[in-house]
Structure 1
């Protein structure tokens, strides 16, 4: 009788192994999968379409852009990149940006990693106070700091100079770097540092030769995030760097776009925009494996 009941029962109504629950879970998983893929597809289109349109427009003349902004270029106008690089001065601004961002990124990662390691590994009086003060820097709006930074750099003789901009960029990215890396260093095994101390390694050698290489995934993540933030920084250089010879790329692009109104060479302008985008893509492609490794390592821990 029970066998007959189990055989004749309608599918999905009553199953000893929880069939209806699996059926509902299956429909829920499919709904989540479809909705998530839909959102990701729409988001990808919103991100990729403007990039492709910018790249396409960089090979067109100004007349072609106004006549048919969404059509393919009839011929590749490579002179747009030449004009942007030479006539508009994008080449000089690009070199200034590379120098400033590279120097600031190096100092930020070095000082931030050392500070994060000390806060994560050593107990000393006032440790939590120092950590709280550093993290509180993340809550301080940058536009409130530009006036004090202006007078500090002016008194130090670094206003309107690339070294002064490097110092400002380093101070800007330092709190986030420490905040991110402290938790990462706290998760690294202490036994490795203790073994190095037993073998006679100094604290400096333990940090630079053992602990820092172990933190490469987290360092790569911070490098990508800091590079994007510093490369696209506009407010700090506008206030602290008014000498046109020392303009960075964001300032140069803004000056180029506004210098001639509607008579600007839009083909060269789009070529300059592509020039600003390429370094970000290159840095991401170089460090993406490390970034993925950081996520995987964090999830395992």
Structure 2
């Protein structure tokens, strides 16, 4: 009886929390299909008529379309590079014993302690000296550099959970170090790679500060910067429907990406919880 009551309270709490999370999301989605007049006069009502023009104005007139495409390109390229480079660094740090190993790990650990705002001025001067300011390629390099320490330590934990007998068996079968990594260790670490990809996808997709200071050309700006611009414009205009449509466009890719890989994320979060 006690377990049943505990389960009932737990499920009730989860349902309440889920509803509290979903209400603002649904409200934003509904307002994205309402006219600005309905949003101001009847904020809690359903739309009198569906206004899909909001999405067209947000995409074209507000310039969110080019920001959306820039963010898609930057995020996918950056996440791919982060996962690949981090896996190549995490594998030897996890499985091999070599000189300066602890020093290298501590160096990456120091990267986790550096606040973004503290590095803004020297980072801008460095990128300006390299002529990578106002460059998508430069922004991708900065994102990769900032995300490597966290991702490497995350993947080290996953590689630590893979039994060494599998690696030894591959070596006995004639696999060299590179083949062991690509053919054996990397597939076994897939849950960790996908978990790292999801965390980095969300962080980079929503990143604003670095994109703001490194990108000045309007054609190259990412979606968070474009969203900030449209929010400032709303101080002088009343196109709230386009603003809500832009908010939907900003969180929709993250939701889709998570729904596709949510099972892998659960696998990754529980990997190594039970050690045989």
**Fold conserved between structures, TM > 0.5:** yes
CA contact under 8 A between 1:109 and 1:177: conserved in structure 2?
yes
Q: Report how far residue 289 of structure 1 moved.
A: 1.5
2:134 aligned with 1:165: no
After alignment, is 287-296 or 162-171 more displaced? 287-296
Residue number in structure 2 paired with 1:286: 260
TM-score when normalising by structure 2 = 0.95
Q: Match for 1:267 among 241, 244, 261?
A: 241
2:100 aligned with 1:126: yes
SS at 2:272 equivalent: helix
Q: Which blocks of at least 5 consecutive residues in structure 1 are unaligned?
A: 1-25
Q: Report how far residue 171 of structure 1 moved.
A: 1.1
CA contact under 8 A between 1:257 and 1:264: conserved in structure 2?
no
Residue number in structure 2 paired with 1:180: 154
TM-score when normalising by structure 1 = 0.87
After superposition, the C-alpha distances for 1:119-162 in whole angstroms (9 at most, x for unaligned) are 00111111111112212322221111222211111111111111
Q: Which blocks of at least 5 consecutive residues in structure 2 are unaligned?
A: none
Residue number in structure 2 paired with 1:147: 121
- Cα 1:266/1:293, change in 2 over 3 Å: same
CA contact under 8 A between 1:84 and 1:268: conserved in structure 2?
yes
CA contact under 8 A between 2:158 and 2:271: conserved in structure 1?
no
SS at 1:299 equivalent: coil
- Cα 1:41/1:262, change in 2 over 3 Å: farther
Across the aligned residues of Structure 1 and Structure 2, the Cα RMSD in angstroms comes to: 1.5
Q: Report how far residue 259 of structure 1 moved.
A: 2.2
CA distance in 2, matches of 1:272, 1:206: 46
SS at 1:267 equivalent: helix
Q: Report how far residue 299 of structure 1 moved.
A: 2.4
After superposition, the C-alpha distances for 1:60-87 in whole angstroms (9 at most, x for unaligned) are 0111100011100011101111111111
CA distance in 2, matches of 1:291, 1:56: 29
After superposition, the C-alpha distances for 1:186-240 in whole angstroms (9 at most, x for unaligned) are 1101111112222221211111111100000111111111100110111111111
The alignment covers a number of residue pairs equal to 275
2:226 aligned with 1:249: no
2:25 aligned with 1:41: no
Q: Match for 1:77 among 42, 51, 56?
A: 51
Runs ≥4 in structure 1, deviation > 6 angstroms? none
Q: Report how far residue 260 of structure 1 moved.
A: 4.5
CA distance in 2, matches of 1:259, 1:296: 45
Larger relative contact order, structure 1 or 2 (CA cutoff 8 Å, min sep 6): 2
